[in-house]
Amino acid sequence: MIKFDHVTFQYDAAETPAIKDITLHIKQGELVLFCGKSGSGKSTITKLINGLIPRGHEGELTGEVTVNDTPISKLPMYALSEMVGSVFQNPKTQFYNVDTTSELAFNLENRGIDPAVITASIDKVMQQFDITHLLDRNIFELSGGEKQIIACATVLLANPDIIVLDEPSSNLDMYSIKKLKEMIQYLKDEGKTIVLVDHRLDYIMNDADRIVYIEDGKIASVYDLAQFKSLSTAQYEEMGLRFVPTKAKLVQPAEETKHIEIKDFTYAYDRFSKRKQLDIATAQIPTNEVVAIIGNNGSGKSTFAKSLSGLNKRFKGRVTYDNHTFKSRQLLKQSYMVFQDVNNQLFTENLEQELKLLDQQVDDAQVDEMLAQIHLLDKKAAHPFSLSGGEKQRLAIATAIMSHKRIIIFDEPTSGLDLFHMKKVAALIHSIKNHNKMVLIITHDKALISEICSYVLHFAEGKIIDQYPLDEQGQQKLDAYFDV
């Protein structure tokens, strides 16, 4: 079905190959799970399968990739796209429409399929996976996890023989991960060939036929399921994998709790809409704790964070912090937010310039120290968009730290990160607390919460439905939410 024959690829902007001498045969109907540390070359492999390399990325390619015994280089892109369906790490990059129903229909319409058949197919899939609530929605108003589910449903409707999934669980809550698992199991039962890249293995590992571990651009190991499950916890951690469910541990709370007070926090995408994405009358949030913001996809977490950052134009509300009251756009000078999609906040030509962008007083020594902390010092002169998804995430977090704003908000900061880099990022974020800053983290990553958070805000339908310190009682609530 898919064959790699001594394949090496080096991006034009890179000093070393992203993958080196890859030889692998993926059989029809197999689910092959690729794992490895951030930047190891996993996403490059997926781009070689779906044809984005070399068509969408310039570089030097040697060796050959074939699908159904035909070299990908000889297949027209339209023919390859009918054979291979992809869900990218950032699903927004593959959308062509502004509403979900049109997006679901787009591929089928381009094939000339009868509109009645298209409508029936969409209804069947959305009902089958209980996601009809995502129909007829504005794509720009969806959460990151909801966009991911729509992208998966779109590929399922296209019905290709091969499905490539790059970090599909990275922005998903527990409910959506269940839906993703159901979709993957359905595709496997239909005899589809599935190539899946992920750091989180607990939801899908038992469905995998083989697990391929990539290290420094090479295939380090190939396991069948029994071999992989026989590895020790220490071996999983050494490989940077998220396999063993994490129980929250006690994080020492602050001796004296300080708060900000928020009042009349409201926001609606449409000023004529009766439905509010955010509706909080009043709340107090500790400023000297690392606060986790949890809740299902679409519960209002990111809307709250953008409002607290002063980024939502129609937001109404006020914040009292250190006896000063701030409204709407005044919050821009007080806060910095690292978005779920960090591509929207990388602006310069290299990593050094990026870290100096918000504060020109930052010197070269501080830049080098920060880049060393996030393991990117060797890429100091590289363009930010040449980095892997996980590397971009670490760069954006470092930029937030260097910004010297009083309120720092992270939206899924460990999305796409392996265990090793998750812990490094967690330590970086935790260090901010020592500089008299307020730190809030929107996350579905229980390992991250376990590592550094001491307080939780739980959102649902635009409201804070619960908030609690992570003492023993709080841990029980957190475990119940993650269904541990």
pLDDT tens profile 294-338: 999 889 999 999 999 999 888 889 999 888 999 877 888 889 999
Tell me the pLDDT tens digit for each residue of 38-51: 889 999 999 999 99
Whether the pLDDT of residue 22 is over 60: the answer is yes
Which tokens hold the place of 195? 């190539």
Per-residue pLDDT band at 255 (split at 50, 70, 90): low
pLDDT at residue 355, rounded to an integer: 95
Whether the pLDDT of residue 254 is over 70: the answer is no
All domains of the chain in start order, with CATH = 2-238 (3.40.50.300), 259-482 (3.40.50.300)
Question: Rounded mean pLDDT of 77-105?
Answer: 92
Mean pLDDT of the chain: 90
Residue with tokens 């927004």: 92
pLDDT at residue 274, rounded to an integer: 65
pLDDT at residue 258, rounded to an integer: 85
Q: How far apart are CA 67 and CA 75, in angstroms?
A: 9
Q: Which residues of 315-352 are buried (b: 16+ CB within 10 A; e: fewer)?
A: bebebebeeeebebeebeebbbbbbbbbeebbeeeebb
Which of 240-249, 254-263, 337-346 bottoms out in mean pLDDT, i.e. has the lowest?
A: 240-249
Q: List beta partners, residue 163.
A: 85, 194
Angstrom distances, CA of residue 92 to CA of 15, 103, 151, 235, 344:
29, 11, 8, 34, 11
Comparison of pLDDT for 247 and 92, the residue scoring more: 92
Comparison of pLDDT for 156 and 419, the residue scoring more: 156
Comparison of pLDDT for 89 and 218, the residue scoring more: 218
pLDDT at residue 247, rounded to an integer: 57
Per-residue pLDDT band at 244 (split at 50, 70, 90): very low
pLDDT at residue 268, rounded to an integer: 87
pLDDT at residue 96, rounded to an integer: 93
Whether the pLDDT of residue 66 is over 50: the answer is yes
Q: How far apart are CA 326 and CA 290, in angstroms?
A: 21
Tell me the pLDDT tens digit for each residue of 330-372: 888 889 999 877 888 999 999 999 999 988 889 999 999 999 9
pLDDT at residue 32, rounded to an integer: 98
Question: Taking the complete model, does pTM exceed 0.95, yes or no?
Answer: no
Question: Rounded mean pLDDT of 224-247?
Answer: 82
Question: Rounded mean pLDDT of 59-68?
Answer: 95
